[in-house]
Amino acid sequence: MSIIKNYAAPQAGAELELQEYDAGPLAAEDVEVAVDYCGICHSDLSMIDNEWGFSQYPLVAGHEVIGHVVALGDAAQNKGLKVGQRVGIGWTAHSCGHCDACIDGNQINCLEGAVPTILNRGGFADKIRAGWQWVIPLPDSIDIETAGPLLCGGITVFKPLLMHNVTATSRVGVIGIGGLGHIAIKLLRAMGCEVTAFSSNPAKEAEVRLMGADYVVNSRDPEALKARAGQYDLIINTVNVDLDWLPFFEALAHGGHFHTVGAVMKPLEVPAFTLIGGDRSVSGSATGTPYELRKLMKFAGRAKVAPTIEMFPMSQINEALQHVRDGKARYRVVLKADF
């Protein structure tokens, strides 16, 4: 018997309550991890509130977990993990391992349906379980207090850099300098790129430049956007609000890519000739594979890329969630387990 303590939402939109459940025997390919830190993501709020329509209650959210291995299933014994090892767990807890997507190394798009960590009971808990592939070894060089948001927000903005072969010579724009965008700027600066931040908040300019932006452009100023025409190899959109997208498409250089990781609810209107005229493209992505997560954590540790965070004890989880709901987080909130 393995009793796990957790903070669970008893129903949609409710405050979280301290509960316990018997996790039962450890599955053969699973790893049990003691939680040290867990970030809060807007996706946690969406799941708690059942905004996407598939939440199950009581719901234990949390998917930016930093912890250490406490037990290994029989089939996870010889997979490179060991008891006591520092590890992370992100959005995904399980994938089938045998479908074409998984065999191709694209487990995040598992054809049998990758299982989100939250639906597997997430990291707002003293322990968590996940399939061994999704338990990501951490380099000794990484800062464990700030590393959690890299496992969701970080990989979300790192994935487009891998997909579009970004290098030190790339010119990259980032729309929205919040929980996702600020990590993107730090990663791009560490890679040596020329970085432009598109922000609607002029008060952030000095801070954004300190993060590594070469230029800061008002995302709601048509003339300022027009002046950037034809410049960018990649523009990453991190916001979920609808904007006038045409100036951003026109800001792409020939062969440039507009890539959204922000879940904009309205369809993007893309004039065909804007793409045809410059061999441009529009794309999107979710999170990353186990290999991409490992690559990110190694790079972040070596390059000292750390999200800007605010720390709360997990016992103050409802206050921390409200802080995120109110849009006050600068720029990510991390919970420290204090059971």
pLDDT score at 136: 98
| pLDDT score at 2 | 86
pLDDT tens digits for range 36-61: 999 999 999 999 999 999 999 999 99
Please state, as a whole number, how many other Cβ atoms lie within 10 Å of the Cβ of residue 151. Answer: 31
CATH 3.40.50.2300 fits 153-284, yes or no: no
Determine the Cα–Cα distance for residues 156 and 262; give it in Å rounded to an integer. 9
Top CATH class of 2-152+287-336 equals alpha beta
Bridge partners of residue 89, in order along the sequence: 65
**Residue 1 — pLDDT band, cuts 50, 70, 90?**
low
Domains 2-152+287-336 and 153-284 share a fold: no
Long-range contacts of 221-230 (CB under 8 A, 24+ apart): 222/247, 225/198, 225/251, 226/250, 228/173, 228/196, 230/254, 230/278
pTM of the complete model: 0.97
Mean pLDDT of all residues in the chain?
97
Burial of 305 (0-12, 13-18, 19+ CB in 10 A): buried
- Band (pLDDT 50/70/90 cuts) for residue 216 is very high
pLDDT digits (tens, 9 = 90+) for 79-126: 999 999 999 999 999 999 999 999 999 999 999 999 999 999 999 999
Q: Mean pLDDT across the stretch 280-299?
A: 97
pLDDT at 202: 87
Q: Which residue has the tokens 């990590």?
A: 183
In the chain, % of residues over pLDDT 70: 100
How do residues 170-205 score in pLDDT, each as one tens digit? Answer: 999 999 999 999 999 999 999 999 999 999 998 899
Q: How far apart are CA 324 and CA 202, in angstroms?
A: 21
Domains of the chain: which residue ranges? Answer: 2-152+287-336, 153-284
What is the mean predicted confidence (pLDDT) over 290-305?
Answer: 98
